[in-house]
Amino acid sequence: MSSHIEQSSVTVLGLGPMGRSLAGAFLDAGVRTTVWNRTPGRDGELVARGAVGARSAEEAVAASALTVVCVVNYDAVDSIVRRGAVTDALKGRTVVNLTADTPERARDAAAWAAEHGIGYLDGAIMTPTTTIGTPAAVFLHSGPEELYREHRPVLDTLGGAHTHLGAEIGRAAAYDIALLDIFWTAMAGYAHALAVARAEGITARQLAPFAQGIGAILPPIFEQTAEEMDSGRFSGEDNPLTSAASSMAHIVQASEAHGIEAGVMRAAEGLARRAIGRGHGGDGFIRIAEILSRR
């Protein structure tokens, strides 16, 4: 452990499951850690491990040059830091906001910070609490590069991979939104698949190994379709939209025959049919991204 890290300090605002994991990783790395949460009583275990439990948010942020915020959304962030005493205490210090929200909210927060002489970096955590402090953690950051470099040694103690996406402050939130879009639509698809399977007498455990097989074929498809999206050449050689739409129609029919709602698949099929109607039936499925983008 370097003496630089031993002499460093950090404040963590927000002690939900992720906030507690962040604070724990800082403590494990020997960083002097101050913690605070809006609901009292969540700091007991961390204080027992050596953290300093602050009595107020202003006391917490005054204890460190760097404050890491991780709460439910930016409304919660604003309710904590955009108050006179806390804002005043933050002046000349840096906030790393690891709270999830939209890119526009990140830009608004950065404008507020600049107005009050507060350094501001925005970030996103792309892996579960169990990965924090391990090589499996993934963090995305955006904001002034010099500020990021200054605080990188302390941030690195959270483990895993840290990627600075550029100075544009909304960049980390934009990646976060796009990546969570993949995750939650995939999970919604899996939940729907389990419902259909159960209606046909197939248990979730029976389906799971085959579902993992479907998951395994996605990474190379992501790579291929990313190239198609950026080049504007949508190859449907292996699976044209006409074939995809037919497959989706079968899923809708089978679902609704069992009384299972098929709204998500109906929406996907509708987008495919719109693309076909515009003359793109021979293109690959990712052509629908252009349909989605048209206002």
Each residue's pLDDT, cut to its tens digit, for the chain (295 residues) gives 444 565 699 999 999 999 999 999 999 999 999 999 999 889 999 999 999 999 999 999 999 999 999 999 999 999 999 999 999 999 999 999 999 999 999 999 999 999 999 999 999 999 999 999 999 999 999 999 999 999 999 999 999 999 999 999 999 999 999 999 999 999 999 999 999 999 999 999 999 999 999 999 999 999 999 999 999 999 898 899 999 999 999 999 999 999 999 999 999 999 999 999 999 999 999 999 998 986 5
* Measured distance CA(221)–CA(134) in Å, rounded: 29
- Per-residue confidence (pLDDT) for residue 295, from 0 to 100: 59
Task: Count other C-beta atoms under 10 Å from residue 72's C-beta.
Answer: 12
- Per-residue confidence (pLDDT) for residue 294, from 0 to 100: 64
- Per-residue confidence (pLDDT) for residue 25, from 0 to 100: 98
Phi, psi of 221 (to 5 degrees): -65, -40
Task: Count other C-beta atoms under 10 Å from residue 259's C-beta.
Answer: 7
All domains in the chain, ordered by first residue: 3-167 (3.40.50.720), 203-293 (1.10.1040.10)
Please give the model's pTM, rounded to 2 decimal places: 0.92
* Measured distance CA(70)–CA(90) in Å, rounded: 16
- Per-residue confidence (pLDDT) for residue 92, from 0 to 100: 98
- Per-residue confidence (pLDDT) for residue 124, from 0 to 100: 98
The secondary structure of 19-73, three-state, reads HHHHHHHHHHCCCEEEEECCCCCCCHHHHHCCCEECCCHHHHHHCCCEEEECCCC
Tell how far CA 7 is from the center of its chain.
30
b/e per residue, 202-238, with b = 16+ CB within 10 A? eeeeebeeeeeeeeeeeeeeeeebeebeeeeebbbee
